[in-house]
Amino acid sequence: MQILFLLILGILQGICEFLPISSSGHLVLFSNIFGITDSLFVSIVLHVATLLAILVVFKKEIFYMISHPFSKESMNIVIATIPTALIVLILMPIINQSFTGSFLAVSFLISSILLVAVEYYSKRHKQSKEFTYKNAIIMGIAQGLAVFPGISRSGTTISAGLFSGGDKENCAKFSFLMSIPVIILSMILEIIKIFIYKETVSVNIVGIVGAFIFAFVIGILSIKLMIKLTSKLNFKWFSLYLLIISIITLFIN
């Protein structure tokens, strides 16, 4: 059972991390349904897998930003990360409580409403191909508010970018890139928690390796799919899916 559970977690992480449907929300929902709690160690492994997926897909962009730390692209990442970090620190007590699944149905519903709203907005307002510091700041704020399970990080940040005048392709690409420092910081926090709470790492080796591979490979495919389909993507279908999940969650939790 543990192997199957871990493999499903890996699949969910790979698919949901980069599609606008909330990976954390699906992981919490799945864990609640089966009454199994995934450990911090498992969370770290899955985060590493999705981080590596981003590094593989955007290796050229990342190498450029490392080579040019003061370029506009690099500064956009820094500018976006600062409000995210501040908001997360302020909301930390509420965030910890939200991972019990208490607000899951409402969070899925918020994501659903947001996606359908931005879909109609983007069709009626002109989008700029130039990605500005304003877009980065607003997307950074959105990323900080999207830490609750059920509120899609990618969906919220892309929506914020579109509401601030950006175009889908640039906003989607930046949404993935801006997640890198956040994933790294969350991994560090989880590692610290393991030492603080002295959690015993006891997982099935075959299961965790399989979960890592699934999350990594499916994560790469999910990113490429999102980038390829972004300009033609209609968020209303994701919105409908999230609405259905919200209703299901309401009856399960």
Question: Mean pLDDT over all residues of the chain?
Answer: 88
Read off the pTM.
0.90
Q: How confident is the model at residue 47 (pLDDT cuts 50, 70, 90)?
A: confident
pLDDT of 169 over the 90 cut: no
pLDDT score for 114: 95
**On the CB side of 142, how many CA atoms lie within 13 Å of its CA?**
28
Beta bridge partners of 166: 128
Q: How far is CA 69 from CA 65, 81, 133, 182, in A?
A: 5, 15, 16, 18
- Class of residue 96 by CB neighbours under 10 A (exposed 0-12, middle 13-18, buried 19+): exposed
Q: What pLDDT was estimated at residue 142?
A: 97
28, pLDDT greater than 70: yes
Pick the range with the lowest mean pLDDT from 3-17, 21-35, 185-199: 185-199
How many residues are present in the chain?
253
- Per residue in 173-231, pLDDT tens? 999 999 999 888 888 877 777 777 666 666 778 888 999 999 999 999 999 888 877 76
